Amino acid sequence: MIAESLESKKKRALEIIKGLEKKFPEAQIELNFQNPIQLVVATILSAQCTDKRVNMVTPALFKKYKTEKDFANANVKTFEKEIHSTGFYRAKTKNIIGCMKGIIKHFGGKVPNRMEDLITLPGIGRKTANVVLGNIFGIPGLVVDTHMRRIANRLGLTNKQDPGKIEFELNEIVPKKDWTLFSHLIIWHGRRTCFARKPKCTDCIVNTLCPSREDIKEVSVGLVKKIKVAS
């Protein structure tokens, strides 16, 4: 199989964006928040948890904890109970409280707007940082979550599995101005069409741009069977 050139991938990525924009014109972050602190908390909670579940937990949480100081001074055991249903509640409690203390101590109580600063805070890796940068500060960022990793591989835009390597490879393929939009579109696509176990290839608006679509797999399987029979 001939490897696809970078230029070809760039052109295909633009077509994928165009198709997904047509399918999901309303695509945006699905976590509910009203300020940077709330988005940081919600994004940390969303690790290994659905946005739907997080959005069920945060209304009461944000009503009780209104500022970074409120979160920083939260009672650990009480907070663990309040976020218990999001999973990994002990680690998330430690990270959220530690993150808010770090924001107060090192950044004057304001969420920083630079990647290199954000990733120094507990609970914030490149994924969370890109969510914050793109959705609060308007700074383009590629969010590599489970959907992005799965779909970028299926689309043949990368063959990497490490989130950092995927992000840096896609940075060369997707126009910088579209990084945040591309993230929203891929996540929406993953939640509504390109499922992990059984993607709905017949309903996919970009299936002609996807080397992993089901009809190609079926043809490949058929050819293998014919070869085996012939041999």
> Which residues are designated catalytic?
127, 145
Tally helices (H) and strands (E) across the chain.
12, 0
Q: Residue 194: phi, psi to the nearest 5? A: -90, 70
Identify the sign of the CA torsion 26, 27, 30, 34: negative
Contact 97, 78 (CB under 8 A): no
Please give the Cα distance from 12 to 10 (Å, whole number).
5
Say which residues have a Cβ less than 8 Å from residue 126's Cβ, sequence separation at least 6: 115, 119, 144, 163, 164, 167
Query: Other CB atoms closer than 10 Å to residue 202's CB: what's the count?
Result: 10
Q: Residue 96: phi, psi to the nearest 5? A: -65, -45
Burial annotation 119-136 (CB, 10 A radius, 16+ → b, else e): eebebbebbbbbbbbbbb
Q: Residue 128: phi, psi to the nearest 5? A: -60, -40
Please give the Cα distance from 98 to 81 (Å, whole number).
17
Q: Show the CA angle centred on residue 130, arms to residues 128 and 135, nearest 5°.
A: 100
